[in-house]
A and B are shown apart, each in its own frame.
Chain A
Amino acid sequence: MQSVETLEKIAKRIKRDIIQLTAANTGHPGGAIGAAEIFAELYFSRLRHNPKNPDWEDRDRFILSNGHICLALYSSLARTGYFDVEELRTFRKINSRLQGHPSREDLVGIETASGPLGQGVSIANGIAMAQKLKKSDANVYCLVGDGELQEGQIWEALMTSAHHKLDNVALIVNWNNIQIDGHVKDIMNIEPIDEKFKSFGWNVINIDGHNLSEVKEAFDQFEKNEGSPTAIIAKTVLGNGISYMENKAVWHGQAPSKEQAFQALQEIGETDFGSDLILN
């Protein structure tokens, strides 16, 4: 377990990677930056995993259902030692293992391909069922976007998790109220999210997704909960900490210019973790 202070620095490190890797290139920076604290807690503190033995059978699994924010995942994998940090530079380039959306067959540490929305919870359920069959106490963590809750398959899967009492599943909803066409509320309202999950038989925890104490506490509660799956509704700000990016739908899938990237890096601030990458 890492301290909140350390994880805050790690989250900054992840954000810097995301900015540097999308700068003057392509990718989806906004949602990934907004989820940096969640990735910091999961990969650097919470998950029972071994980057040197990625296929370890009793590892905890992380399923990124909203695959477009994979830069946060790639940064986390590289900086926990799954592959060389330098390889991050190949993101979205030809012949790269770091595909625009995650590819399990290409990159070590990816539990499943994702990108087409709505599929992660089903896959997480299947993995969770397998752990129970094997009598393994490994947990399955799955991150979904809030707009993604508009996909019908999500609700099929939510029923399955509760019906089969998969208390080894933690679903984190990255609730930033932004999707490509605008605000989730306006495009197709999904609220009240917590009441929907409760009525589907889930253990529900509401948190501020940028407050690492709350993030930690939520996962602690999940680990103690028995008999039902846990949903952590994490309120986040798209592009959190970058003034021109915060809460703007355009930053779902737009890369910053070099000038914008420099400004973002200044606003995020320096970290004492490793050397910064140069801009693409």
Chain B
Amino acid sequence: MTAQRAGRDGFGQAMMELGEENEKVVALGADLAESVKVHYFAEAYPERYFQIGIAEQDMIGTAAGLALSGYIPFTTTYAVFAAQRANEQIRLAVCYNNSNVKLAVSHAGLTTGEDGATHQALEDIASMRAMPNMTVLVPADASEAYEATKAAAEYQGPIYLRLGRTPVSELTNGVGEFKIGKARKMKEGKDVTIFACGIMVERAVEAHDILAKKGVDAEIINIHTIKPLDEVAVLESAKKTGCVVTAEEHSIIGGLGGAVAEVLSEKFPIPLKRIGTQDTFGESGPPEELLTKYGLTAEKIVEAVEEVIEKKNVMAVSSK
């Protein structure tokens, strides 16, 4: 296993390079520069880094102003303070204006850990996904966060870039190319599809290996772009395997599971099970223990897979 890095580290690295490559890239901070790893950029390009203080709503509006003047601003804060505290600013100044703002957020999900429920965004994907003009990216590891950051700078329009706090294994490096809106197949399989995003991609790959030992051939698809969802990839895989499990570090309401369920229930209804938090807040604790307590583990994915395969088999028998 390669060295573990967090999504925010890939972001910090990409921002440093973007500072050099593209003079239109600017960054804004709300007193969390080091936490979101934008401090390297801030030190290297002080004239293009704007400290706004603990004022996220103002930061989003200011970023919109910069974007409307031709710059490519990356705002940096925690997920709860952007998607949730500044929700209406994102709706008006960013999405309704279709301004070219990139909302880079770290500390999303349970792995924010000891800070507890107040700081663990578990509803942010749902609210960002519902906004017209918004693109939602949830990279699986540091190298994908790096690629997503670079792609976000190239892309014209609002982007929500959800970065993790805790280190995860490098999985995506060398697995095809990163393209916004294009799902990444991590493992080819035929019995079940596991759609995962963020840190749950690593758990999905673990689940794949457990399932392989049990004789189940699981397909693992990394949905790094929740919106626009790669419907072609979702449908293609669902039609091949006939049953689906989704896994995300987010509520099962409105996130990746919601997005996949929406598409499949309309276009190809098959057994589906969503892994995520069950309409609940998190709590303080070490990240791994929290993931276990709230059911965000490879083992839970395996259980869900066995459940949907069972349903698929029952349906196959009853339709004969």
Residues of A within 8 A of B (CB): 57, 103-105, 111-116, 118-119, 121-131, 133-134, 152-153, 156-157, 159-160, 163-164
Q: Is the CB of A130 within 8 A of B96?
A: no
Nearest chain B residue, comparing its CB with the CB of A115: B92
CB distance from A116 to the nearest CB of B (A): 5
- Which of B45-53, B104-112, B261-269 binds A? B45-53
**Interface contact tally, CB-CB below 8 A:** 108
Q: If A160-B53, A160-B58 touch, does A129 touch B65 (CB 8 Å cutoff)?
A: yes
Chain B residues in 8 Å Cβ range of A129: 50, 62, 65-66
Most buried by B among A114, A152, A156: A156
Among B48, B62, B92, point to the contact of A114 (Cβ < 8 A): B92
Q: Is the CB of A122 within 8 A of B71?
A: no
**What is the bound-complex CA distance between A131 and B48, given in angstroms?**
12
CB distance from B65 to the nearest CB of A (A): 2
Among B47, B68, B70, B98, point to the contact of A111 (Cβ < 8 A): B68
Q: Is the CB of A125 within 8 A of B92?
A: no
Additional 8 contacts, C-beta under 8 A, given A119-B89, A126-B63:
A121-B61, A122-B61, A126-B67, A127-B68, A129-B50, A156-B55, A157-B55, A159-B53
Chain B residues in 8 Å Cβ range of A57: 70
Interface size class of B (residues with CB under 8 A): 20 to 34
* Interface residue SS majority, chain A: helix
Some 6 contacts from A to B, beta carbons below 8 A apart, are A112-B64, A113-B92, A116-B88, A123-B93, A125-B61, A126-B67
Nearest chain B residue, comparing its CB with the CB of A140: B65
Chain B residues in 8 Å Cβ range of A114: 92
Q: Is the CB of A130 within 8 A of B93?
A: no
CB distance from B68 to the nearest CB of A (A): 6
CB distance from B82 to the nearest CB of A (A): 14
Q: Is the CB of B69 within 8 A of A125?
A: no
Q: Is the CB of B93 within 8 A of A112?
A: yes
Q: Which 8 A-B pairs have the closest CB atoms?
A: A126-B65, A122-B61, A130-B69, A156-B58, A156-B55, A126-B62, A127-B65, A123-B65
Chain A residues in 8 Å Cβ range of B89: 119, 122, 153
Residue-wise interface mask of B (84-95) relative to A, using a CB-CB cutoff of 8 A (1 in contact, 0 not): 000011001100
Chain B residues in 8 Å Cβ range of A113: 92-93, 96-97
